[in-house]
A and B are shown apart, each in its own frame.
Chain A
Amino acid sequence: MLKRDSKKRHGIIVVATLLLISFLFLTANIKFWKTPVFVESIIIAVVSPFQELVSKTINGTVRIWNNYIFLIDTQEENNQLKKEIEKLKFQNSALLEKFDNFKRLDKLIDFVNTSELNLIYADVVGFDSTGWAKMIMINKGLNNSVMKDMSVVTYNGLIGRIVQSTSKYSKVLLITDPRSSIDAVIQRTRDRGVVVGNNKGMLEMKYLSVDSDVKEGDIVISSGLGGIYQKGLLIGTVSKVYEKKTGLFRQVAITPSADISRTEELLVVVSPFDKPEIK
């Protein structure tokens, strides 16, 4: 009887300890906004190579199926053309933004340093394991000069930012995560707001002036403020404008321009962030 009680007590102590450890991790998260990186680094180092292997195998199989078995040449050609169109769209958007800058600011301010972005190609090796956060793992890390707070794009728009890097892998917080916020402008009206994720694959723009003439179909780009995302990166298109007659701000729904849920390859912007200077 005594032995059974002692065993029971021992079990409760073990469980209480485990719960306490979890609670301590959680407290560290909340209070200091930091996590014990060594635990994460070890787990990433063990699991991510397997993720990469499986991910590459699946992608390879899908590609073989799509490109060779399903539609031998047409699919490949179509993919190339689609990529070319997306690339041209991206370039067009950037050029339009530069053109607008020249027109609007003229001699009053100097234009933003438009040096070409230095991009690193990366593959997606895994997605968030919890399902409640929007995060992906890529196969580039500190060894490839990929560091925290670098922005991540595809040919057709912004994907997210690096939130943690280990030697070979990095975590990317997607713009659709509620914890992501981007200072953005409506390209046509120049109204500014903050774009946040809604965890359902869509975005919302908050703190947009109630007087804004925003319309469905308007393009939303990053403003360059905040020190993480470069100016002029395509975020998405306004898909719904919520009517509001009172209050200071209005809210709009935005469809991300990049197909975030189907992203396989992406680009990390490794060029240093240059803040625009007004002369």
Chain B
Amino acid sequence: MFILTMTFLGIIIFILETVVIEFFAIGGVKPDFILIIAIYSGLFLNKNIAAGIGFTFGLIQDALSFKLMGINSLSKCLIGFSIGSLREKILSENLLVQYLFTFIATFLNGVIFLFILKGLLLMEIKVLNFLWSLLIQGIYNSLLAPPIFLLLNRIKRLYYKKPVFYKL
């Protein structure tokens, strides 16, 4: 049942990301829900599960884009795992921590993107414009992350009594 819920949630997130959220783009910049999910997994679940979720959702995100296969799966897997590794040393429930980690993770995700697109794919990208977009996305993601974390934690609590979740 938990897997079904998560699959259903995943589909909703991708529909949000590819259909609905386009209408809420600010200057062409839209929030990255998949990144928020990867950050959530790192902050509240096991680091290996966080890496797995980041990889899977990133891979789907790549497949729905063009010629970017591997970029999102790599960055989201890395972000999920990195935050997951720090989980025991931080207060995940703290709002400030959530804002900060979302902003830093957005920046890290963007830098990985920039490095691959510009350094490896040799795409012409104006770095200043890109960083400006990243700043907007960082703020956008940071504002959206806490309510999404709250929602996901509510869903998590529904299954909390089951033994499998004690491991997460």
B-contacting residues of A (Cβ < 8 Å)?
11, 14-15, 18-19, 21-30, 33, 35-36, 39-40, 43-44, 47, 50-51, 54-55, 58, 125-133, 135, 137, 163-164, 171, 173, 177-179, 196, 198-201, 261
Contact = CB atoms under 8 A, between A and B. Distances in A.
Interface string B56-98: 0011111111111111111001100100000000000000000
Nearest to B15: A54
Contact of A33 (B67, B113, B126): B67
18 contacts: A19-B77, A21-B55, A22-B55, A28-B70, A39-B59, A44-B64, A51-B18, A51-B19, A54-B15, A128-B66, A132-B117, A135-B66, A163-B67, A178-B124, A179-B123, A199-B28, A199-B129, A261-B28
- Ranked 7 nearest A-B pairs via Cβ: A25-B70, A26-B70, A22-B74, A43-B63, A126-B18, A35-B69, A11-B48
Interface residues of B, number: 51
Contact of A19 (B14, B48, B78, B120): B78
Contacts of B148: none
A26 B69 contact: yes
B66 A47 contact: no
Contact of B81 (A15, A36, A200, A261): A15
A23 B70 contact: yes
Contacts of B27: 200
Interface of B: 11, 14-15, 17-20, 22, 25, 27-30, 32, 34, 47-48, 51-52, 55, 58-74, 77-78, 81, 113, 116-117, 120-121, 123-126, 129, 137
A263 to B, nearest CB: 11
Contacts of B73: 18, 21-22, 25
Given A47-B64, A164-B66, A171-B66, 6 more contacts: A29-B70, A35-B69, A43-B63, A129-B18, A129-B61, A199-B129
Contacts of A198: 126
Contacts of B11: 47, 50
B116 A58 contact: no
B51 A178 contact: no
A11 B65 CA distance: 29
B71 A26 contact: yes
B52 A14 contact: yes
B167 to A, nearest CB: 11
A164 B30 CA distance: 24
Contacts of A50: 11, 14-15
A22 B62 CA distance: 10
